[in-house]
Structure 1
Amino acid sequence: MPLNVLRVWLSAYRVEVVLFLVAFAVLASFSSQRFLRQSAAPHFVYQSQAWLEGRLDIDPQVLPNLEDWACVRVVNGEKVRCEGRPLPSDRWFVSFPSFPAVVMLPFVALHGYQFNDTSFDVIFGALAVALFYSLLRFLAKEGETARNRNENIALSLILAFGTLFFYCAIRGEVWFSAEVMGVAFTCLYARNSVRAHRPVLAGLFFSMATLTRTPLFFTGVFFVLEALCPGPESRLSQLKALGQNWKPAARKVGLFALGAAPLGLLAAAYNVYRFGRPGEFGHRFLFNNRVNADIDHWGLFHWEYLPRNLEAAFLKLPTVSFDPLRLAYDPYGLTLLLTLPLLVFLLIPKTRPRLHWPLWLTVAACALPGLLYQNTGYMQFGFRFSLDYTPYLLLLFAIGGWSLRNRAVLFAVALGVLVNFWGAVAFRGYTELVRNW
């Protein structure tokens, strides 16, 4: 890139660059010794290396552990979960959507199985913070929010250090890497979906987000709503007008599908090859996992799981012991009222602009599958599945009219930062358990 072009680019995106550097410095510092070494759950690294070696499954001889891998056994021509002792004919796969492995491919090509997924997670986390600011700046420019630059910077820093994003972005590990990358792709998807102004790009980033975190598939409702009702007029009048002039909206939805189709079709074919179904990413084939009994009895999603997920998301509180004095978190969850206190202000917004209902419907569509899911997210600090829709919740705050200088808002922000600072420092996940840190 010529020097003058670089200067122009840095001038146009200097806030994003500074946010990236600040977020990277803080996240890397809190990542501490993790930052310098691969995590204990580098599933995406192993998948990337397997592709580079010309195979679609994982060589069982190189598996670093047996935690959350899918094992497929063919019995009477049918693909079933491996039971008992592994057999030489069993095939092993990553039991998660595989797009993060695609992103890691060029780096794994250089470093092989030793690629450091933890530092990669930190870098991607810093990038997600910058992308969230870019989204907020775009919304302000388009007149969708009344926030100024400093407020948008503050909201981006709240995402970074005042939500569960903080502890997820410093860990590496397959579960948290996917959450962080999902936030980054969500920002790109939402930016191109506003008023459905770039449908092909929106579809492309939507497929990247979905193939990183499957619940993000349901955020597709945001683009559809924006395609149907992009104007400032009432939604009812816009929906009525579709009867006479439906082609522009249909064209945008078609272009969106066209943008999403290439990656979506490849992923569906890959899933059929691995698990026999286009929509199966591997959790029905988890090897020797504590959740298998529930999956066999109720399935991956069921109303039976709702109470415990609601408890993990909204009712779990820290525990205090006095002999010795100790504050502890529940590894099954922690109420969002502590990990994202700004949630309270979303329920009593001062303004309800055009994006109010599209954002709320997107949050609802994305949150419901997670609340009906067989797993609360254990082990975790807070209900980590909420990170899938946290960017939309912060966008709701951005358009909701509450001043960041309001004392109650400042208290909520401070509480969120304090609680998530605790999570970044105190949480001990799979890496620490394996390495006995």
Structure 2
Amino acid sequence: MRKLILCFLIFVSVILIYKFIYPNPRNWYDHYRYLAESFLAGRVDVPNLPIFYQDSLEYQGKKYLPFPPIPALILAPIIAVGKNTTQQQVSIIIGTLNAVLVFLLLKKFTKLINAFLLSIFFALGTVAFWSAVVGTTWYFAHNVALTFFFLSLITFKNKKYFLSGFLFSLAVLSRLPILLGIVFYILELKKDKINLLKFLSTATVCIPIMFFYNWLRFSNIFHSGYIEVYKSYLGIGYSISFFQSIYPNFPNFGYLDPRNIPLHLFTFFLMPPILSADKILPSPYGMGIIFTTPFLLLAFLPPFKKGLEKNLFIGAILIAFVDFLHYMQGWVQFGYRFLLDFLPFLLIVLAIRFRPKKLYILLLGISIAVNFWGVHWAIKLGW
């Protein structure tokens, strides 16, 4: 009963905050809604996509999106029933459900009250807050991926390995970098070959599905469209990275290039807000967790205990490594949105380490306060 009450409190409080902090969203950049409409019409191109929407490409006279399909498939039945339903409305519901899933996951690693506090931290003290309320294409993909990632980890803990692997595949088919997180599961099951095979049999389904989706669009299983989108950003006349905003002649590196890693490390950990004479504003290029989410730093403190803690950190690092290779640090954004790809692993580390000490509670409170500030300004600035 206590667990149900806490789930109810999380759901009600989070959805009310999400809804009332951004009651009149702009509903821009809802690529997945257009893709969902195309799926319902039996096609994979997006002929009705607004001309000013970036991150699209043309192939043989048709317009396509490079993104994997699951977020649009989630939207399809919803908009089939409620044609006026917006992507942002669905995003708020998914974001709220994710907060409940965090509680259900973390209670397996810590006390109920700690899991409750950490679920509130996730919902209001991390970039998940802005991601849920804005609901634009890039954030919507993160929100959907988190849902399936959390469900995969919950069912994995419950030893339902076929289901866990399938849910992991759905997470990957929402956000491709999550694929590297499979190493965590392999490390956890390396001494249990039968159950490892059960997990892998469904966890790798995402690969042929993505190949088939690529073939449907471009007649090439290895062609996703991301390279064309990357090229479209080159020479567009404005800075797409923080470094270019300081040094206009700073070069563009490759789509996935090790030379992009310093940009991401700086953005993830240290990127400061914008200071002026009369106000402090979030940077559109992102902000480091030392400012936005200082409580999360607890998950990075060594040593990491052998076994689960170490495996979680390895999984997080591998996903982060792929994200850090990306040519752009995420833009326009509050915080660092790529954190959401590997945040589930870090949340479990937090749950293992968390104790209701004054310092921890203070850092948790600061994280929530800063994210309220950031979401307020992101809305006001029209992000």
TM-score (norm 2): 0.89
Aligned to 1:281: 224
Which residue of structure 2 aligns with residue 232 of structure 1? none
Give 3-state SS (helix, strand or coil) of 1:92's partner: strand
CA distance in 1, matches of 2:222, 2:309: 31
Q: Identify which range, 283-292 or 39-48, moves more after superposition.
A: 283-292
State the Cα distance separating 1:419 from its structure 2 match.
1.1
Equivalent residue, structure 2, for 1:318: 273
Q: Does structure 1 residue 117 correspond to structure 2 residue 87?
A: yes
- Which structure is larger by alpha-carbon Rg, 1 or 2? 1
Residue type at the aligned position of 2:270: L
Q: Tell me the residue number matched to 2:243.
A: none
Equivalent-residue separation in structure 2 for 1:127 and 1:347 (angstroms) = 26
Structure 2: how far apart are the matches of 1:263 and 1:306? 27
**C-alpha distance in 1, partners of 2:2/2:118?**
21
Alignment of 1:252 with 2:195, yes or no, is: yes
CA offsets 1:225-270 (integer angstroms, 9 cap, x no match): 11115xxxxxxxxxxxxxxxxxx41x32322232235554232201
1:354–1:58 Cα change, 3 Å: same
Q: Could you say which residue in structure 2 is the equivalent of 1:149?
A: 112
What is residue 87 of structure 1 aligned with on the other side?
none
- Helix, strand or coil for the counterpart of 1:384? coil
Alpha-carbon distance in 1 for matches of 2:151, 2:173: 14
Match of 1:205 in 2: 167
Offset at residue 379 of structure 1 (A): 0.6
Q: Aligned with 1:228: secondary structure?
A: coil
Normalising by structure 1, we get a TM-score of: 0.78
Partner-residue secondary structure (3-state), 2:375: helix
- Are 1:21 and 2:12 counterparts? yes
2:316 to 336, 340, 363: 363
| 1:388-427 aligned within 5 A | 388-400=341-353, 402-404=354-356, 406-427=357-378
**Aligned equivalents of 1:389, 1:287: Cα separation in 2:** 23
Partner of 1:234: none
Specify every segment of 5 or more residues in structure 2 that has no aligned partner in the other structure, as ranges: 241-250
Alignment of 1:208-247 (within 5 A): 208-229=170-191
Residue 77 (structure 1) aligns with: none
What is the match of residue 240 of structure 1? Answer: none
Q: What's the CA shift for 1:193? A: 2.4
Distance 1:264 1:423, change over 3 A: same
1:260 is aligned with what amino acid?
A
| Alignment-derived partner of residue 303 in structure 1 | 258
- 1:72 aligned counterpart, secondary structure: strand
Residue in 1 that maps onto 2:54: 68
The answer to whether the 8 A contact 2:3-2:112 is kept is: no
Shift of 1:289: 3.2
Q: Aligned with 1:342: secondary structure?
A: helix
After TM superposition, the structure 1 = structure 2 runs for residues 69-218 of structure 1, keeping only pairs within 5 Å, are 69-74=55-60, 90-112=61-83, 114-137=84-107, 139=108, 145=109, 147-194=110-157, 197-218=159-180
Counterpart CA distance in 1 for 2:285 and 2:346 is 22
Specify which of 374, 383, 388 is matched with residue 336 of structure 2: 383
How much does 1:410 deviate?
1.8
- Deviation at residue 340 of structure 1 after TM alignment: 1.9
Q: Say if 2:304 and 2:310, in contact at 8 Å, map to a contact too.
A: no
Q: Percent identity?
A: 24
**Whole-angstrom distance in 2 between the partners of 1:174 and 1:292:** 23
- Cα distance, 1:287 vs structure 2: 8.5
**Aligned partners of 1:276, 1:218: CA distance in 2, in Å?**
26
1:343 aligns with 2:296: yes
Which whole-Å deviations, capped at 9, do the CAs of 1:5-58 have from their partners, x for residues lacking one?
xxxxx8874432332222111111112211xx7x11111111111111122211
**Partner Cα separation in structure 2 for residue 425 and residue 278 of structure 1:** 42
Alignment partners' CA distance in 1, 2:311 and 2:49: 43
Root-mean-square deviation (CA), in Å? Answer: 2.5
For 1:47 and 1:376, the matched residues in 2 are separated by 25
Contact persistence 2:150–2:344 (CA under 8 A): yes
For the residues of structure 1 that align with 2:257 and 2:310, how far apart are their CA atoms? 27
Distance in 2 between residues matched to 1:63 and 1:347, nearest whole Å: 41
State the alpha-carbon separation in 1 of the partners of residues 144 and 14 from structure 2.
15
Q: Distance between the aligned counterparts of 1:351 and 1:278, measured in 2?
A: 39
CA displacement, residues 360-404 of structure 1 (integer Å, 9 cap, x when unaligned): 10111111111111110011011110111122212111112x412
Q: Distance in 2 between matches of 1:16 and 1:54?
A: 38
Contact 2:44-2:216 at 8 Å conserved across structures: no
Letter in 2 for 1:44: Y
CA contact under 8 A between 1:341 and 1:413: conserved in structure 2? Answer: yes
Aligned AA (1:46): Y
Which residue of structure 1 aligns with residue 244 of structure 2?
A: none
Matched, 1:266 2:209: yes
**What is the SS of the residue equivalent to 2:267?**
helix
Residue 100 of structure 1 aligns with an amino acid whose one-letter code is P
CA distance in 2 between partners of 1:291 and 1:170 (Å): 30
Q: Are 2:22 and 2:379, in contact at CA under 8 Å, matched by a contact in 1?
A: no
Q: Distance in 1 between matches of 2:228 and 2:235?
A: 8
Counterpart CA distance in 2 for 1:172 and 1:116 is 9
Tell me the SS of whatever aligns to 1:389. helix
| Structure 1: stretches of 5+ with no match in the other structure | 1-9, 75-89, 140-144, 230-247
* CA 40–351 in structure 1, closer or farther in 2 if over 3 Å, else same: closer
Q: How many residues align?
A: 370
**How many angstroms apart in 2 are the aligned matches of 1:64 and 1:214?**
25
Inter-CA distance 174–110: structure 2 relative to 1 (3 Å threshold): same
